[in-house]
Amino acid sequence: MYSENIAGYGTEGYIQYVLDTYSQTIIRLCYTYVRNIFDAEDIAQDVFVALLRRGKGFESPEHEKAWLLRTAINKSKNHLRSGWITRTVGLNDTDVPETEDSENEKSEVMEAVLSLPEKYRTVIHLFYYDGYSIKEIAAIVGKKPATVGTLLARGRALLKEMMIGGFDDEQVD
């Protein structure tokens, strides 16, 4: 079994390996759903606790990563459906972390990605931010590769419309 060969599933070495390898990816993925860095970090922590409670290793690194990402997506969706979230309103000033001026363009793109409907947002994030192939994304989200390709194309079109759509009607001197 794959995980047992790393450092022994559930050992301190394995836990450190998983945290070092996947924590930032999982936090970013959760953030695309909940749009609050603090909630995203809490959900990522829940994902790692679920990993430890799982009690068995994985067949391959791909299986491990797919399980972690799928669990992060499910926990993010559960968080959004929770009674606390549906009955409260967050403080806008604390929802999005501060960015430096050099990152404004990246921030604008991320805001545009976050404003997409969930089905497009997830596949675009996994493809562009985490570097997964269409086939890998299909396995993670449980859809056919052709469907993922279509979602990517439609998501890109929506992003293009959002990012440059306002400039089509304006004339440049």
Task: Report domain 100-167's class.
Answer: mainly alpha
Q: What is the pTM of this model?
A: 0.62
Quick one: fold of 1-97?
Rna Polymerase Sigma Factor; Chain: A (1.10.1740)
Element (H, E) at 168: none
Which candidate, 53, 4, 55, 44, places its Cα nearest to that of 21?
44
User: Is 42 in a helix, a strand, or coil?
Assistant: helix
pLDDT tens per residue across span 61-114 = 888 899 999 999 999 999 988 876 656 555 544 444 444 544 556 677 778 888
**For the chain, which residues make up each domain, given as ranges?**
1-97, 100-167
Distances (CA, A) of 157 to 100, 110, 151, 153: 28, 15, 10, 6
pLDDT tens per residue across span 103-144 = 556 677 778 888 888 889 889 888 888 888 999 889 888 899
What are the tokens at 47? 């994902």
Cα angle 111, 48, 92 (rounded to 5 degrees) comes to 30
